[in-house]
Amino acid sequence: MVQHVAVGHLESLDVLIAGAGPAGLAMAAEAARFGLRYRIIDKAPHGAEHSQALVLQARTLEQFERYEIAQRAIELGRRLKRIRIYSDRKRILEASFEELPGNYPFVLFLPQTETERLLTEHVEAQAGRIERDVELESFVQGVDSVECELLLKDGSRERVEAAFLIGCDGAHSTVRRLLGMPFEGSGIDFDFFLGDLRLDGDVPGDELSVHLQGGNLVFLGRLDDTHCRVIVALQGHPQTREPSVADFQYGIDVCGVENLRVSDPRWMAAFRVSERRAPAYSSGRVFLAGDATNIHSPVGGQGMNTGIQDAANLMWKIGLVHRGRAHFRLLDSYDRERKPLSDALLQTTSTALRAATASNWFLERLRDSVLSRIAALDAVQNRIRDAVSELGINYRGSDIVRDCGGSSALRAGDRAPDCEVTDETQTPFRLFALLKDPLHTALAVLPQGGAPLEHFAVLLSRYGDVMQGSVLKGGDELFAEKYAGREGMLYVVRPDGYIAFRSALANTEEFERWCSEFFISPASR
């Protein structure tokens, strides 16, 4: 149990996490995974009270597998299998998520309240505790630590020394403000009404339905057997006041959605779209994640998922560095890997929103004509699926991954997909079962006839405290397509599920060189 102490005493932690939304809770889950001493605080007295961010993408569910909460999330949520976009009552685009590779061929609607509850239960099961009504008031960053002052509910203060501070404290981030970082950008003069309302009539079933009409927009997605998430955006109608049921019905009617009546709201709110970003995701031992780094249009349901993926990317690096297994410069890769992705996402969502709400008749016709012509192309369908699910994210350009060639389809920096594999004893298992441990995982994929593995075994024993290994002899069709190579292949998968190293199996010299450069050798610790 965490004890509050007087200002004169300095508690020592590995990590202090400010903010207990989905991103902060994922940080806590990852910190526990790597055995770090942490505290997670939030100035709010409670978590989310409404559905709010309710989309869980396939990549996030893969991460939830590591916490053993993915199946529970699916049981509590609603699977949506496709998206359909209509303009002037005509369908201009349809994309199916059932073709997504992996174990989660759908978009999952799950209220943020439930997502936070599942993550909180997991954190607490790992002996963690969320401290509410506790506010980060100030911090001073030193060479080896960050000294923080906390304001407690009763008005007293507490000093904490943490090796690292992580700000998961939202768009109005205190950590970002105390770093002196601007939040660059602006509102884009577009407002939404959003809410969870009962729909009767021709209600969408297992689809996300978007209706466009003259620059107006209605989004519909089923939450459960009675209620749907409804989002309404109307040209020339500022939506900064509290909405009513009549506002949602008006939007539905204006967009030409027939035979649909709204009633019985569970929750309604106005939402102003802003596009803002921080210039950097880190400064020394202080990091930002989730909405503290950027905010953007809700198009595509990416925001919460991006923050959860920030946690997966950052915490294994902190774990290695803090335990003396990797050089401090590894932490710089968090900004270099995550910021370009978020910047691209902000641009994509902005472009998509502007295209969807174009009110110029020529631009509308051009948009509809282009989409209706290209929407059925396999390349377009795959791109939509990869972008929405976040399965298409890769770090191929990162300077901390190394690709030394080989004949397989996967490259260093790619997501390591799950598949069924067999080891040398022909025992079948799922590849993801290997990737739950907080270690790098080296995979030796044998060619036909086998291969000598003595050097592989020696290197694994040398780096056994940071890397585990497995020899794979075969697997299913996906394994053959992605992992297998004519000459046999060697991969190292990072703890966040991305490939850090790839080479032909015989190229153990490059493997040894990469290990010696990436990890601090046992003799040097």
pLDDT tens, 141-152?
999 999 999 999
In this structure, is the dihedral angle defined by the CA atoms of residues 203, 204, 208 and 209, taken in order, positive or negative? Answer: negative
Is pLDDT above 70 for 173?
Answer: yes
The SS3 assignment for 107 reads strand
List the domains of the chain with CATH numbers: 1-52+111-183+278-356 (3.50.50.60), 185-275 (3.30.70.2450), 402-524 (3.40.30.120)
Burial of 524 (0-12, 13-18, 19+ CB in 10 A): exposed
Q: What is the pLDDT of residue 240?
A: 63
Task: Calculate helix-pair angle for 112-125, 58-67, nearest 10 degrees.
Answer: 30
The Cα–Cα gap between 409 and 414 comes to 10
Which of 27-31, 213-217, 350-354, 492-496 is predicted least confidently? 350-354
User: Contact at 8 Å (CB) between 281 and 288?
Assistant: yes
Q: Which residues of 409-436 are buried (b: 16+ CB within 10 A; e: fewer)?
A: ebebbbbbbbbebebeeeeeeebbebbe
Q: What is the pLDDT of residue 3?
A: 37
pLDDT greater at residue 217 or residue 8: 217
Q: What is the pLDDT of residue 2?
A: 37
Q: Which tens digits make up the pLDDT trace of 474-514?
A: 999 999 999 998 888 999 999 999 999 999 998 989 999 99
Q: What is the pLDDT of residue 7?
A: 46
Q: What is the pLDDT of residue 4?
A: 39
Q: What is the pLDDT of residue 241?
A: 75
Q: What is the pLDDT of residue 189?
A: 57
Question: Which pair of structure tokens corresponds to residue 366?
Answer: 């051009």
Which of 169-183, 286-300, 312-326 is predicted least confidently? 286-300
Amino acid at site 69 = I
Question: Which pair of structure tokens corresponds to residue 206?
Answer: 């297992």
Average pLDDT over residues 326-351: 91
Q: What is the pLDDT of residue 239?
A: 59
Q: If you average pLDDT over every residue of the chain, what do you get?
A: 90
Average pLDDT over residues 255-259: 91
The pTM of the full predicted model, rounded to 2 decimals, is: 0.93
User: Contact at 8 Å (CB) between 17 and 28?
Assistant: yes
User: Contact at 8 Å (CB) between 525 and 325?
Assistant: yes
- When pLDDT is cut at 50, 70 and 90, the band that residue 370 belongs to is confident
CA neighbours within 13 Å on the CB side: how many for 364? 16
Q: Which tens digits make up the pLDDT trace of 15-40?
A: 999 999 999 999 999 999 999 999 99
User: Contact at 8 Å (CB) between 58 and 391?
Assistant: yes
User: Which residues are CB-neighbours of 169 under 8 A, at least 6 positions away?
Assistant: 18, 19, 24, 42, 43, 136, 175, 176, 292
Is pLDDT above 90 for 396?
Answer: yes
* Percentage of the chain modeled with pLDDT above 90: 69
